[in-house]
Amino acid sequence: MDKEENFQSKRYWDKKWSSIFDGYQKDLRHGHYVAALADGRGRRFLELGAGSFRDTACLRGLGFEVLGIDFSENSCSLARSAFPHLTDSIICGDAFKTELLEFSVDVSFSKGFLGYFGDAEISSILLEQRRVTSKLIMATVHNSHNKKFLDYFKSRAEADSLYSLRFFAVDEIEHAFRSVGLKPQVFTVGKAYVSGEDVLIAEGAPLSLIRDAIVSQGPVALEISEYLMVVADVEAV
Ligand SMILES: C[S@@+](CC[C@H](N)C(=O)[O-])C[C@H]1O[C@@H](n2cnc3c(N)ncnc32)[C@H](O)[C@@H]1O
């Protein structure tokens, strides 16, 4: 990858989305995790670094109002073709500078987005979320306690730089939230489609059951879950 094409450049993502957009649409678990953990506290959602816009589309399908923002013109154009009914929800813009846009939402979230940034940039993103969000701030990151998942990413990273993103331990992501004055609650999600919340989603279970499965997990879930999903109540700041 040359300097012009690092993860923080539009050029990198414009190229990348041409080859990965369709594959991403096959995994719709995360939109359900977001809806389940929002637990009826929001009607209006914002997704940062929406990429494939699959979560934006999933949440709309579940009946919520939703906006997704991504700076890759290619990802936005692919999403407008794939989801013509969502054209008004697809915003091509910088997630660090949403002040250019006039909106406020109940819940904002990202998935696999913070892992491409350093600590200072993560703080800026979380502060931006806090500025536009009235109820819940969420961020889902890759879980470094799951060694199998981490090793899988390391092995793929040799051939594909998409996989060389940062994984987080619970204390690291908690620290990122606390450093901007947010009180994080960390949940473990993503069971490789084979157990827990993933099976409930595949079965079409109600959001309340999916939420119960996520919030009642024991400590062993930390080592087998793909992601840490952090939720902070804006009012608890
Ligand atoms: C790993 S992808 C996220 C994938 C997404 N969660 C999904 O499910 O499709 C990271 C995304 O962040 C976007 N991105 C990176 N920097 C950005 C920025 N400053 N503003 C908006 N989007 C950005 C990239 O274009 C890319 O689509």
CATH at 89: 3.40.50.150
Residues with C-beta less than 6 Å from any ligand 1 atom: 8, 13, 24, 49-52, 54-55, 69-72, 75, 94-96, 111-113
Q: How far apart are CA 222 and CA 226, in angstroms?
A: 9
Q: Residue-wise pLDDT tens for the chain (237 aa)? A: 544 567 778 999 999 999 999 999 999 999 999 999 999 999 999 999 999 999 999 999 999 999 999 999 999 999 999 999 999 999 999 999 876 567 789 999 999 999 999 999 999 999 999 999 999 999 999 999 999 999 999 999 989 989 999 999 999 999 999 999 999 999 999 999 999 999 999 999 999 999 999 999 988 899 999 999 999 999 886
Atom of ligand 1 nearest to the CA of 24: 9
Ligand 1 mutation target, pool 26, 116, 227, most atoms within 8 A of CB: 116
> What's the one-letter identity of residue 74?
N
Q: Judge contact between 79 and 52, C-beta under 8 A.
A: yes
Residue 156 has which token pair? 């793929």
Q: How far apart are CA 96 and CA 63, in angstroms?
A: 27
Ligand 1 mutation target, pool 20, 21, 113, 127, most atoms within 8 A of CB: 113
Residue of the nearest CA to atom 13 in ligand 1? Answer: 49
The boundaries of the domain holding residue 62 are: 3-236
Q: How far apart are CA 226 and CA 223, in angstroms?
A: 8
Q: Is 80 exposed, middle or buried (0-12, 13-18, 19+ CB in 10 A)?
A: middle
Number of domains in the chain: 1
Cα–Cα nearest to 168, from 135, 136, 146, 191: 146
- Measured in Å, residue 97 CA sits from the centre of ligand 1 at 14
